[in-house]
Structure 1
Amino acid sequence: MKTLHLEFLIANHLKNAILKNKAFYFITLFIGALLLYAAFSGWENYTSQNETSEKYQHESREDWLSNPDKNPHRMAHYGNFAFRKSSSLSVFEFGMEPFFGNAIFLEAHKQNTANFSEAGFSNSMLRFGEISIAMVLQILLPLLIFFIGFNSVAAERENGTLKLLFSQGINWKQLLIGKILGVVSVIMLLFIPTLLVLVLLWLFLQNFTISVDEMLKMLLFIAFHFIYLIFFCAIAVLVSAASKTSKKALISLIGIWLVFTIILPRTTQAIGAYIYEAPSKIRFNSDIEKDILKQGDSHNPNDLHYKAIKDSLLTLYKVDSVQQLPFNYSGFIMTEGEKISSKIYNQHLEILLKVYEKQNRFSKTVSFFNPYIAIKNLSMGLSTTDYDSHIDFQKQAEDYRYTMAQKMNALQIKYISNKKPAATDKPLAISKEHWADLEEFHYEPKDIRDVLKSEIISIISIILWISLLFVLLRIAAKNLKAI
C-alpha cells in the first residue's frame, strides 16, 4: 500500500506540473476543437449517406415494382440497385469508405463495381485523410502524449532532483510507474470527455436502440484505443528516462511518432502493392470477356456451345424445333449463359481478391512493428469501414444480382411462349405482379465474430506490444542510471 501511495504521489506531482503549463491548454483546446469538428463531420457523413442510401434504395424498389407488364428478360436487363448503409461506428472511423462506392447497378450478364465514392467527387485534399475522431485518437493524441511526457524523467535528471528522489527510498520501478500514471491521468482529462460525447452521439443516432453486436463492437473500440494510448504514455516516459536531456527525448519521440504514424503506413502500402501487383480494371474486365467468349455467346443462336445445347434438347424432347419445346428455350439458354458468365467472373474475382488479400496481409504483418497500423486496421474492422467489409458488400450484391437474373429467366421459361408473335400482336409479356417476387436488397454487415476473425493479426500484435512494454519496464527499472 505504501509503494502504491508513492506511485500516486509521483503521478499527482507530474499531473500538477503539466497542468501549470499554459502551452498544454492551447494544444488541448486545439485538439478539443478538432474532436468537436470530427464528431460533427462524422455525424453529417453518417446521416447524409444513410438518408441518401435509404432514399434511393426505396426509389429503386419503387421503380422496379412500377414497371408495366413486359418480358422478364427485359426486366433482367432493366436492372436494380444495391446500396450500402454506413454502420453506426463509421461516425468515428471513416476508414476506407470515402474511397469505395456505396452503390452498385445490378443487371443481367454483367457484374459492375461499386460507384459514387466520396473521393470521386472530392478534390485531391481527401488523399491526406479526413479528420475523424479515430484519426485524432490514433495520431494527434499520441503526439500530445509525447509533448507532455518528453521531460517527465529527463527534466528530473537535468535539474538534479533524480538523485534526491532515489535518496528518499524511491526506486526506478516506482518512479516509472508513477510517471506513466501521471501522463495517463492528464490524457484521461481529454479522453474521457471524448468518450462521453462519442457514446452519446452514437446512441442518439440510433434512437438509443442498439443490438448486442453493436454494443460489443463499441466496447472493443473504446478498450483497444484506451490500451493504445496507455502504450504511448509508457513509451514517452521510457524514452524520457533513457535520454540524457529533455531535448534529446523530444527529438527521439517525434521521430518515433513520424515513423509510426506517417512513414511506415505509407511505405507499407507502397511496398505491398509493388510486391503483389494487381491487374488494372481494364485488364481484369478484358480477361473476363475473353473467357466468356471462349465458352460461347448466349445471345448468338449460331454459337457452337449453345447450338449443341439446343440439339441435345431437341433430341431429348423428340421435337423438330425449339418452338415445340414445353418451355421457353430462350429463357433456358439465358439461364445457362448466366451460370457460365457468373462462374467465370467469380473465378477471376477470387484470383484478384487473393492478390489484394496478400497486400493486406503484408500490411497487417507490419503491425508487429507498428502499433498504429494494428489499431487502425482493428478500428476500421470494428467500424465495418475496412476493405473486407467493402468486398463483403460486393459479394452480397452479386448474390442478389444473380438471384434477380435467374428469377427473371425462370419466369421467362415458365410463362413466355416459344412462338414469336406476329408483327401486329403485342410483345410477349407477363403480369407486373411477378416483379414483387424479388425481395428488396438489404446489406447485412459483418458481425463481431467475423470482425475479430479477420483482424486476429492486429489483436495479437496489440497484445505483443503490451507484453513488450512490460518487458521494457522491467529492463529499464534494473538498468537505468540516475546520471
Structure 2
Amino acid sequence: MKLLHKEILIARHFKNAVFKNSAIYIITLFIGALLLFAAFSGWDNYKSQNETSEKYQHESREDWLKNPDKNPHRMAHYGNFAFRKSTSLSVFEFGMEPFFGNAIFLEAHKQNTANFSEAGFSNSMLRFGEISIAMVLQVLLPLLIFFVGFNSVAYERENGTLKILLSQGINWKQFLFGKILGIASVVMLLFVPTIIVLVLIWLLLQSFSISADETIKMLLFVGFHFIYLMFFCVVAVLVSASSKTSKKALVSLIGIWLILTIILPRTTQAIGAYLYEAPSKIRFNSDIEKDILKQGDSHNPNDVHYKAIKDSLLRVYKVDSVQKLPFNYSGFIMTEGERISSNIYNKHLEDLLKIYEKQNSFSKAVSFVNPYIAMKNLSMGLSNTDYDSYIDFQQQAENYRYNMAQKMNALQIKYISNKKPGPKDKPLTIDKRHWAIIEEFHYEPKPVWEVLKSEITAVISILLWIILLFVLIKIAAKNLKAI
C-alpha cells in the first residue's frame, strides 16, 4: 500500500499539472463534442437504416405472398429480396458498413451481389471516413494521450526535478507507473462518460432486452478499448522517459501516431492488394458464365448435356416422351440446372474469397507491429461491420436463394403436368397458398465466438503488446538515467 501510495501521489500531482494548462480544456471539450456528435450520428444512422431494412423486407414478403396462382418456375424468377440489418454495436463502429451494400435481389439461376451501400448515395467526403465513437477512441484519444504525456518525464529531467525525486526514495518503476496512472486519469475523464453514454444508447436500442451474445460483445468492445488506450499511455511515458527534451519526445510521439494510425493502415491495404491481386467484377462474372455454358443451358431443350439427362430418364421409366414421365420434366431439369450453376458460382466465389483472405491475412499479420490495426479489426468484428460479416451476409442470402429456387422447382415437379396447354386452355399454375412455404429472410449476425475465432490474431497481438510494454517498463526502470 505504501508503494501504491507513492504512485498515486505522482499521478495526482501530474494530473493537477496537466489541468493548469488551459489548452487541455479546449482539446477535451473539442473531443467531447466530437464524441457526442458521433453518438448522435451513429444513433440516427442505425435507426434510419434498420427502419428502412425492416420496411422493405416486410414489403418484399407481402409482395411475394400476394402473387396470384402461377407456375412455380415463374415465381422463382419473380424473386425475393434479402436485407441486412445492423447490429447495435454498429452505432459506435461503422467499420466497412457504409461501403458494403445491405440489400440483395434473389432470383433463380443468378447470384447477385449486395447493392445500395451508403457510400453509393454519398459524396466523396465519405471516403475520408465518418466520425464514429470508435474512430475517436482509436485515433483521437491516442493523440490526446501523446499531447498530455509527451513531457511527463522529459520535463522533469529538463528542469532538474527528476534527480531530486529519485533521490527521495522513489525508484524508476514507481515513477513510471505513477506517470502512466496520471495520464490514464486524465483520459478516463473522457473515456468513462463515453462508455456510460455508449452503454445507455446500446440498452435503449435493444429496449433493455439484451442477449448474452450481445452482452459479451459489448464487454469485449469496452475492455479491449480500455487496454488499447492504456497501451498509448505506456508508450507516451516510455518515449518521454527516453528523450532528453520534451520537444524530442513530442516529435517522436507524433511520428509514432502518424505511422500507426495513418501511414501503416493505408500502406498495408495497398501492399496486400498488390501482392494478391483479385479479378475484376466483370472478369469474375464472365468466368462464371463461360463455365456454366460449358455445362449446358437448362432452358435449351436441344442442349447436349440436358438431352443426355432426358434420354437416361426415358430409358429408366421406359417411355418414349417426356410427357409420359410421372413427374414434370422441366422442373427436374431446372433443379439440375440450378444445382450446376450454384456449384460453379460457389467454386468461383471460394477462389475469390481465398484471394481476399490472403489480402486480409497480410493486414492481420501487420497487427503484430501495429496495435491500431489489431484494435480496428477486433472492433469491426465485434460490431459485425467487418469484411467477414459482409461475406457471411452474402452466404446467408445465397443459401436462402438456392433453397427458394429449389423449393419452387420441387413444386413444379410435383404439381405441374408435362402436357403443354392448348391455346384456349388455362395456363399451368398452382395455388398461391404454396408461396408461404418460403419463409421470410432474416439475417443472423455472427456470434461472439465466431468473431473471436476469426479475429484471434488481433486478440493475441494486443495481449502481446501489453506484455511487451510491461517488459520494456521493467528494462527502462533498470537502465534510465536521471540526467
CA–CA distance in 2 between the matches of 1:110 and 1:351? 18
Residue deviations 1:144-178 (CA, integer Å, cap 9, x gap): 00000000111111111111111111111111000
CA–CA distance in 1 between the matches of 2:26 and 2:186? 14
Paired residue type of 1:333: I
Q: Which residue of 2 aligns with 1:222?
A: 222
Secondary structure, counterpart of 1:201 in structure 2? helix
Q: For 1:274-313, list aligned pairs within 5 A.
A: 274-313=274-313
CA–CA distance in 2 between the matches of 1:373 and 1:313? 58
CA–CA distance in 2 between the matches of 1:473 and 1:199? 33
Residue deviations 1:402-432 (CA, integer Å, cap 9, x gap): 0000000000000111111111112111000
Shift of 1:336: 0.2
CA–CA distance in 1 between the matches of 2:266 and 2:167? 47
Paired residue type of 1:191: F
Q: Which residue of 2 aligns with 1:345?
A: 345
CA–CA distance in 1 between the matches of 2:35 and 2:225? 15
Ranges of 4+ aligned residues in structure 1 off by more than 2 Å: none
CA–CA distance in 1 between the matches of 2:220 and 2:69? 51
Residue deviations 1:123-149 (CA, integer Å, cap 9, x gap): 111111110000000000000000000
Unmatched segments (≥5 aa) in structure 2? none
Shift of 1:19: 1.3
Secondary structure, counterpart of 1:105 in structure 2? strand
CA–CA distance in 1 between the matches of 2:291 and 2:301? 19
Paired residue type of 1:284: F
Paired residue type of 1:331: G
CA–CA distance in 2 between the matches of 1:410 and 1:4? 73
Residue deviations 1:165-208 (CA, integer Å, cap 9, x gap): 11111111111000000000110011000000000011011101
Paired residue type of 2:273: A
TM-score, normalised to structure 1, is: 1.00
Residue deviations 1:106-139 (CA, integer Å, cap 9, x gap): 0000000000000111111111111000000000
Q: Which residue of 2 aligns with 1:54?
A: 54
Q: Which residue of 1 aligns with 2:65?
A: 65
Q: What's the % identity of the aligned pairs?
A: 83
CA–CA distance in 2 between the matches of 1:444 and 1:200? 24
Q: Which residue of 1 aligns with 2:478?
A: 478
CA–CA distance in 2 between the matches of 1:196 and 1:210? 16
CA–CA distance in 2 between the matches of 1:126 and 1:49? 17
CA–CA distance in 2 between the matches of 1:193 and 1:18? 20
- Alignment coverage as a number of residue pairs: 483
CA–CA distance in 2 between the matches of 1:117 and 1:428? 40
> Are 1:245 and 2:248 counterparts?
no
Shift of 1:66: 0.1
Paired residue type of 1:202: W
Q: Which residue of 2 aligns with 1:18?
A: 18
Q: Which residue of 1 aligns with 2:448?
A: 448
Shift of 1:449: 0.7
Q: Which residue of 2 aligns with 1:424?
A: 424
Q: Which residue of 2 aligns with 1:149?
A: 149
Q: Which residue of 2 aligns with 1:378?
A: 378
Q: Cα RMSD (Å) of the superposition?
A: 0.5
Shift of 1:102: 0.5
Shift of 1:21: 1.1
Q: Which residue of 1 aligns with 2:45?
A: 45
Secondary structure, counterpart of 1:81 in structure 2? strand
CA–CA distance in 2 between the matches of 1:355 and 1:38? 34
> Are 1:212 and 2:215 counterparts?
no
CA–CA distance in 2 between the matches of 1:48 and 1:472? 47
Q: For 1:119-268, list aligned pairs within 5 A.
A: 119-268=119-268
CA–CA distance in 1 between the matches of 2:160 and 2:400? 71
Paired residue type of 1:340: I
CA–CA distance in 1 between the matches of 2:115 and 2:277? 23
Shift of 1:446: 0.5
Secondary structure, counterpart of 1:368 in structure 2? coil
Q: Which residue of 2 aligns with 1:327?
A: 327
Secondary structure, counterpart of 2:68 in structure 1? coil
Q: Which residue of 2 aligns with 1:2?
A: 2
